[in-house]
Every structure is written in C-alpha cells, then in structure tokens.
Amino acid sequence: MGDNGITSLLILQDREMNLECIERSLEALPRERESIQKKIVGFEEDIESGKQRIKEMEVRGKAIETEMGEVENQALKYKSQQLEVKKNEEYTALTHEIELADAKVSSLEESELKLLYELDDARETQSKDEAEIKEKIEMESRALSRLDEKEANLKNEIDAARQAVGEAEAQVDKQPLSIYRRVARGLKYPIIVPLRDAKCQGCHMRVSAAVEVEARKANEITTCDNCGRIVYWDA
Ligand SMILES: [Zn+2]
C-alpha cells in the first residue's frame, strides 16, 4: 500500500465527525428544552383549569344561596303584607305568591344540594389529578436538569474536540488536505469511505476499474467517480 496520506485523513475525518456530533447535540438542546417546557406549561394549565372549574361551581353555589335568601325575604314580605290586606282576593293573591316563593326555595335547595355533591366529586377528582400531574411535572423538571448537565458536559468536550481536530489537521499533508476540503464541500460525512467489492461505501455504486486500481495502489488520493467521495482500498 502506497502512502497517499489516507491514514491521517481518516483520523482527521473521525475527529471532525466527533466535533460535528457534539455541535449537533448542542444545537438540538434549545429545541429539546423548549418542548419539555411546553409540556410543563400544559400540565400547569391542566391544574389551573381544574381549579377554575371548581371555582365556577363555588360561584354558582353562592349565587343559588343569594337567590334563595332573596326569595325567602320576599316570602316574608308577602306574609307581613297578608296581615295588613283587607280584601279577600288580595289575600288569596298573596297566598299564591307565597306558595310560588316556597316552591322556588325548595327547587333552589335541590339545585344547591346537587351542586354540593358535584363539588365534592370535583374536589376529590381534582386533588387526585393534581397529584398525578405534579408527578409528571416533577419528571419533566428532572429531564430539564439532565439537559443542563448534558449541556455542561458537551461544552466541556467541545474545546478538546476542536483541539483534536486541529492537531489531526496538522498531521495531514497539504495536497491530500486540499483534496479532502474540496471534496467535503456539499457532502455529508463520511467523506472518506472504503471500497468493498469495488463498491463505494458512500453511494454504494460500483466504481470504474481505473478507480479500483488506483485505490488499490494508494499512491494518491482517489475519488469515487459517482459521488466524488474519497475512496480507499479496504483490505
Ligand atoms: Zn461513491
């Protein structure tokens, strides 16, 4: 095997890929964090809307009580008016009003009782739901802390990874390096791939016989005649 500098290029590629991987992970962090934070906000909204439902029921209960008080007062007024009226039909009319008021009060009492049962159920459900949701929030918060840790680790790694790329690059000869840089434009890793059964392991196409021979000799940097990647003979 000739010395075309492929070994040092492979080391460079390896370190560049490692650096890229760290960079990608760092870039992905804000999105990951945002999606967790959205989940937490959603959970908090669930708790809040449950509380709101209960509040609305309590307000309805108060309204029923207020109305009941008003109707009862009205009935008392009718009763005292009855003591003063002289005409029979006025007395009868007031009796009718009093009956209506009493009926209204019992229907309000019924609604109130029904509401109180519903409120009991709702409070019970709410406290159970809230406990479950808080557990979920706790889990998501832990995931957030793990992301913070991950970020700190990646930031620690990235400087070393950059330095490693620089060191590897310094080991590559000028000409292979310039071919590598040129080929790398517009390509995703891997840029250097082995040939297996005369097939480029980047595009999986069979290379020409000339390319195969060149790669075998390894006297210079050889590229795939289909995708342009640097190929080497994988013995
Ligand atoms: Zn190829």
Segment 102-157, tens digit of pLDDT = 999 999 999 999 999 999 999 999 999 999 999 999 999 999 999 999 999 999 99
Q: What pLDDT is recorded for position 3? A: 75
- The residue range of the domain holding 192 is 179-233
Cβ distance 150 to 25 under 8 Å?
Answer: yes
Output the CA 226–ligand 1 centroid distance in Å.
Answer: 5
CA of 168 to the centre of ligand 1 (A): 24
Same domain, 166 and 187: no
**Quick one: 122 and 39 in the same domain?**
yes
25 and 75 inside one domain: yes
Q: How far is the CA of 83 from the centre of ligand 1 (A)?
A: 108
- 155 and 227 co-located in one domain: no
The Å distance, Cα 181 to ligand 1 centre, comes to: 16
* Percent of the chain at pLDDT exceeding 70: 99
| 3-state helix/strand/coil string of the chain | CCCCCHHHHHHHHHHHHHHHHHHHHHHHHHHHHHHHHHHHHHHHHHHHHHHHHHHHHHHHHHHHHHHHHHHHHHHHHHHHHHHHCCCHHHHHHHHHHHHHHHHHHHHHHHHHHHHHHHHHHHHHHHHHHHHHHHHHHHHHHHHHHHHHHHHHHHHHHHHHHHHHHHHHHHCCCHHHHHHHHHHHCCCCCCCEEEEECCEECCCCCECCHHHHHHHHHCCCCEECCCCCCEEEECC
pLDDT band at residue 4, thresholds of 50, 70 and 90?
confident
How many angstroms separate the alpha carbon of residue 5 from the centre of ligand 1? 19
| Cα–ligand 1 centroid distance for 200 (angstroms) | 5
- Domains: count for the chain: 2
Percent of the chain past pLDDT 90, that is, above it, reads 97
Same domain, 125 and 150: yes
Mean pLDDT of the chain: 96
Mean pLDDT of 15-21: 97
Domain-terminating residue out of 117, 135, 170: 170
Predicted TM-score of the model (pTM) = 0.73
Residue 70's pLDDT is 97
pLDDT value, residue 20: 97
Cα of 45 to ligand 1 centre, how many Å? Answer: 53
- Encode pLDDT of 22-53 as tens digits: 999 999 999 999 999 999 999 999 999 999 99
Cα-based torsion angle of the residue sequence 40, 41, 47, 50 in order, rounded to the nearest 10 degrees: -140
Q: What is the pLDDT of residue 216?
A: 94
Residue 2 predicted with pLDDT over 80: no
Task: Tell me the CA–centroid distance for residue 18 and ligand 1, in Å.
Answer: 22
Place of tokens 């196409």: 205
**The predicted structure's pLDDT at residue 234:** 85
* Same domain flag for 122 and 219: no
